[in-house]
Structure 1
Amino acid sequence: MGEDYRIGSRLWLIYRQRLSRDTAGAVINRKDGIKYTLNNSVTIGLDGTALTPVTAVLVSPLDDPAAGGALGNAPVGTVLTLDNSYSGVDSQVTLMNPATGGANVETDGPLRTRMLLAYQALPQGGSETDYVNWALAVSGVTRTWCVRRLMGVGTVGIYIMCDGDDQTNHGFPAGTDGLSHYEDWGSYAKATGDQLRVADAIYPNQTITALVYVASPIPKVIDFAITGIIEQEQDLTAAISTAINLVFFTRGDPAGEGIVTLSSINAAIASAPGTDGFLMTYPTQNITLGVGELPQLGTVTIT
């Protein structure tokens, strides 16, 4: 897992060559104790900054299954500190792109689901289920959908989600949409972050005529208003939110034909303890999803 970090510096030009020789493998620290190393030597530019990819240093899952590769993920703007000081160089390091690609060890449940899908849909040389299974095989990817001709004739669209222990992005992939960096045809941008990992993983398997475009769904935020609960002895917001999120997780589909029915949401809320007598006053109609849209819970107001 590696992303670009920018190192602010007050370094004079006489230090540029020295810094270039010494910094490969240098350790930088996050405030919670997670460490990263610089992949390459760094030369400070004339503008006083430098860019370099870094890699998170984590405990091996063989030593600690709970260590979690997701611990190395971090959002844009994360500030780190150089482990060793360099004369004239600011010790502060700032994440310019999100650090992505870290995923915890797959648990038995998701593994079993993937295995059943693979047994039910044998490889067909590039069918829709093939693309779904190829994407799900990438670490950290938990849901995926294949859309024919998403970007026009000859294209195959792959929407991905990265639900898991790391919820900093509500399960949406961290990166930008696009093609594999191996793809040398087409005018579309190359993907970055999670989308790039999936595009690169699919590229060796895809049909030779396909132009595979990996994208993040677009969150469609839905607010809820609920009233009429007979005896509200505790704050039920968390329980109701969990029930709604489960419906969104199972019913959400960005392929363009997704519908989340109010009846399914009402049934989920009714199953939460303490909601007897509730009445959902908003939304008032089934939630329809356009191409690329995936429902995301907004605010839940209980009166």
Structure 2
Amino acid sequence: MFNLESTLISDELKFFPFICYVFLPHRVYLLRGNHESKYCTSVYGFEKEVLIKYGDKGKHVYRKCLGCFEGLPLATIIAGNVYTAHGGLFRSIPATPSKRSKKKNRRISLTPEINPFSLGSLEELSKARRSVLDPPWEGQNLIPGDVLWSDPSMSPGLSPNTERGIGLLWGPDCTEEFLKKFNLKLIIRSHEGPDAREKRPGFAGMDEGYTIDHTVETGKLITLFSAPDYPQFQATVERYNNKGAYVVLKPPEFNNPEFHSFEAILPRPKVQAYYDYEEVIDSDEELDLASMVTTPSDIIVST
């Protein structure tokens, strides 16, 4: 497994995993990340890069990219043992009466005072509407935003992810509950680079490209980051000189991860940025939510 900060890399590199998927559909599996949205592709330069590089065809290519991003899976279960997603866990969404039920005056039995932050189930995840350009931060379709934007915490329970403005924070007790309830051994996610971890006391840094965040009775929570020498465009003194990493999961259980760290090749070639990276250094720090409103062999994992 490996992870790509897709809107912060060139579109040629972004397209490469899709090319691999086309030619090796039973060997390559792609998941959606938080940057595969209309908002992030607009803010962090991907849209502008596509429009410039593809000229008259640019708008068509960009629309096709957005359609592709909408169709990507949010999560996977590997060999019944490993849950993988970009952000992580998600809340349960209480049922609401349908319009048809109201019209016919049917009584809908709802559990009173349902905890809005109870842990969601795999069944709820499978039924969530993932085909959204920008994951909602309010309403009934919150699971996509949770899966893409949530982060682990050292505090127990579920709580709003106020730092990001979308998604949740979940504690070690939630990791244990999720693993035990669904007979899993590992959660592998991404979403946090060295810049994000620098601001989170109690968590290990991302120097080696991965961290083990929760070790509980049933298994572990792992964060994986595959971009070395992050961030991409800043001067050398502003980079973290971190390693990237990928994980190899081997049969039959696929639940004993082998970590492989690697360094960037230096000096790095000069590339053009298509957004003002000096103003948006931490790509996950703030969200302008209002602007998101829109009408059988080894498995290698990276994020």
TM superposition score category, shorter chain reference: under 0.3
Q: How high is the TM-score relative to the length of structure 1?
A: 0.24
The answer to which structure has the higher helix fraction is 2
Structure of greater Rg: 1
Q: TM-score, normalised by structure 2?
A: 0.24
